[in-house]
Amino acid sequence: MRVSAWFIVGLGCLFLFAFSVLGVTLYRLQTVKAGEFAEVETTQTTRRIGIPAQRGRILDRSGHVLADCRPSRCIVCNLEELQQRGNWSNTVNAVDAAVDALASALGLERAVTREQVARHVARASALPLTVWRDLDERTFARFAERADGFPGFELAVRAERRYPYGTLAAHVIGYTGRGRPGGDEPSVAQEAGAREAHFFEELEMKGRKGVEGFYNRYLAGFPGQRFQLVDARGFRPRKRAGKELADAAADDVAPADGLDLELTLDIDIQAELERQLADVTGAGVVLDPRDGAVLAMASAPTFDPNTCIPHLTPDVYASLTNAPAKRGQNRAISESYAPGSTFKPITALAALATGWLPDDEYDCVGVYQLGEWKLRCWDYYGHGPLNLRQALEQSCNTFFCNIGSAIGTNALIEAAHDFGLGSCTGIDIGGETPGVVPDETWKRTYYNEPWYPGDTCQMSIGQGMLLVTPLQMAVVAAALANGGTVVKPYLHKKSGAESGRRVPFSEDSIELVRQGMLDVVLHGTGKKIASGLAVTCAGKTGTAEIGKGEMRRKNTWVIAFAPFEKPTVAIAMVVERGESGGKTVAPRVNAVFSRIFGRKEGGQRL
């Protein structure tokens, strides 16, 4: 025979060898590297979808709800049910046409553009597309009746932010916009590293401004996640196939709801403070001088955060930012003003620390002369000889110019820094400005001019380049109230007070200045602060003149605290373009104090 048996045996060996190569390769793929491939498979067939956490409420100190969530009725579209064969654009067209049809059936205007539909189909087709948000009850009911005629569309209820008190404490609370609920900080999604691209979530409420912004993560909680199988085109598989593949759902992670945020605010004080500022431009801060708790903080003019929900529209944005009103700006922390005479207690303390004696007198002749340069006292004829306490009571400019010049710039700057001026207080909302405590370098940098003796003089009476925020002045008032401790103001009740920092001035000096401030409200420029109050208070007025020529205007101030012996409230208030601290601001501070402490029997309202 031509065909030998050995050839057949050889062929058999070839077959065996070839098959064992296949077998070994398969073994390597399916057992050794199986985990690797299973991982790849999971990555490409599952999308991790965020489950929104419920956002916490914001409460005042006694539990009044300043912000919470309400249900919002939405219509969503499950894209896979409208999925078309072929090109992506076929599906986009189908969804687009279905949205149009539904819009005319419900008599609504379209809320999603074709571009949004296309983007959703391309990037997040495993998520339902929200077609309308926040529908009224009637439209919702009408849709519910006709839903059968519109396959793929479905009702959904989402949460939307609500501020029950409207404008109350708007600047403190802030508002929410749309964003990734977990924030842009490293979140659950990033922790998973490579699989981040497969993490989808609906844009949810994200805090912006105020405590909504500062405590966003606290309020927002952590979104949970569920695992969604997707087909090769990124859609959820239709039901038939989905049934057999449902076991991926086992790995779902429940969301951790956000926590309620309890603030130190007292809505009664807050409302009164806002009422006093309602007709002017300005700001006020009420602190508890014992630990720095913010009892009220207001900025005028104000806005209603409900108008910022669900997100800022261009119109609302313009109304929040347009000058001069700048309704969205929290003037209490992000605007800085010259403090005027309210700075004089600090000048007085600096002088006492440098050796000025309480009984040393200075003769005010109505003008202070430094070479060619003159500074007029507000009393044209002069106050005559005054000691420190009297000078505070009369708010004598020449007196303080004199001691300021005597102790020198550095002592003033140091004292200002000791009271926390020139740096942020560290309050737990964003947007704080540090203000300015000028020195030689600063002036050189910003004005390219040397430091003149007149600058020291201006600074000692709180004018010139010195700039402070109302919150900083409230902290100064609190420090004078509590005997010299600079507190860190705070809004989140649970965060608690940090122990304050003592100013390096003797208790006697501080007591002398406090007495001076008591004289101010008893006999001096601030009589209207105390008028008719059930408790004794102390304070200091200020009237800072700024600008030149036509632009010349006065920002008027009061810092005050009460009760005098054991103060529980410290306040700073500024009103732009006022007449004087004593006339414009003092009555407003008086009203706030009245609200807190009540009025003397038979005491007359102003």
Name the residues that contact another protein, by CB under 8 A.
1-3, 5, 7-9, 11-12, 15-16, 18-19, 21-23, 25-27, 29-31, 33-34, 36-38, 40-41, 44-45, 229-233, 237, 241, 244-245
Supply 10's token pair.
């050889």
The set of residues, in sequence order, having a beta carbon less than 8 Å from that of 557 and lying 6+ positions away, is 337, 339, 340, 341, 342, 473, 541, 542, 543, 544, 572, 573, 574, 581, 585
CB of 193 to another protein, least distance (A): 20
Closer to another protein by Cβ: residue 231 or 414: 231
Closer to another protein by Cβ: residue 21 or 144: 21
CB of 154 to another protein, least distance (A): 22
**CA atoms of 512 and 350, how far apart (whole Å):** 13
Closer to another protein by Cβ: residue 8 or 254: 8
Q: Which residues of 185-219 are buried (b: 16+ CB within 10 A; e: fewer)?
A: eebbbeeeeebeebbbbbebbbbbbbbbbbbbbbb
What are the residues facing 376 on neighbouring strands?
367
**CA atoms of 429 and 335, how far apart (whole Å):** 14
- Which sign, positive or negative, has the C-alpha torsion 556, 479, 475, 466? positive
Q: Please name the helix (run of DSSP H) or strand (run of DSSP E) that holds residue 482, with its range, or none.
A: none
Closer to another protein by Cβ: residue 37 or 446: 37
DSSP secondary structure string for all residues of 13-67: HHHHHHHHHHHHHHHIIIIISHHHHHHHHHHHHEEEEEEPPPPPPEE-TT--EEE
Closer to another protein by Cβ: residue 86 or 355: 86
- Which sign, positive or negative, has the C-alpha torsion 448, 449, 454, 460? positive
CB of 7 to another protein, least distance (A): 5
CB of 8 to another protein, least distance (A): 5
Torsions phi, psi of 368, nearest 5?
-120, 125
Closer to another protein by Cβ: residue 194 or 232: 232
CB of 36 to another protein, least distance (A): 7
**CA atoms of 258 and 433, how far apart (whole Å):** 29
CB of 90 to another protein, least distance (A): 15
Distances from the Cα of 221 to the Cαs of 180, 188, 254, 510, in angstroms? 12, 11, 11, 46
How many CA atoms, within 13 angstroms, populate the side-chain half-sphere of residue 319? 11
Taking Cα atoms as reference points, which of 364, 384, 375, 353 lies closest to residue 513?
A: 353
Closer to another protein by Cβ: residue 10 or 547: 10
CB of 20 to another protein, least distance (A): 9
CB of 226 to another protein, least distance (A): 17
Distances from the Cα of 544 to the Cαs of 127, 159, 178, 589, in angstroms? 58, 47, 41, 18
Closer to another protein by Cβ: residue 232 or 323: 232
Closer to another protein by Cβ: residue 161 or 198: 198
CB of 237 to another protein, least distance (A): 6
CB of 16 to another protein, least distance (A): 7
Q: Is the link from the previous residue into 434 a cis peptide, with omega within 30 of 0?
A: no
Closer to another protein by Cβ: residue 7 or 317: 7
Closer to another protein by Cβ: residue 38 or 144: 38
CB of 101 to another protein, least distance (A): 24
Taking Cα atoms as reference points, which of 358, 470, 348 lies closest to residue 412?
A: 348
